[in-house]
Amino acid sequence: MAEKSLYKLYLAQGRNAPQGSIVGDFKKLDDQNFVCEIILSDDEVMKAGCVDAVTTVFPDKSVIYITADMIDALQEDGQVERFELYHELGHIHCGHYDTGLVDDGSAPDPERLSREEQEADAFAASYLGAEAAELALREILRVRAQVDKRLGVNGTPVSVKAIRELRVRIEKIKNQ
Non-local (6+) Cβ contacts of 9 within 8 A are: 24, 25, 26, 85, 86
Taking alpha carbons only, the member of 109, 77, 59 closest to residue 9 is 77
pLDDT of 15 reads 86
* pLDDT bracket for residue 50 (50, 70, 90): confident
Non-local (6+) Cβ contacts of 56 within 8 A are: 44, 62, 63, 65
- 53 occurs within a structural domain: yes
- Structural domain total, the chain: 1
- 12 occurs within a structural domain: yes
Virtual torsion, Cα 167, 169, 170, 173, nearest 10 deg? 160
% of the chain surpassing 70 pLDDT: 91
Q: What is the pLDDT of residues 56-76, one digit of tens each?
A: 999 899 999 999 999 999 999
Find the length of the chain.
176
- 78 occurs within a structural domain: yes
**Mean model confidence pLDDT for the chain:** 90
Q: What is the pLDDT of residues 78-119, one digit of tens each?
A: 999 999 999 999 999 999 876 444 555 666 678 888 999 999
- 33 occurs within a structural domain: yes
- 2 occurs within a structural domain: no
Domain that residue 73 falls in:
7-174
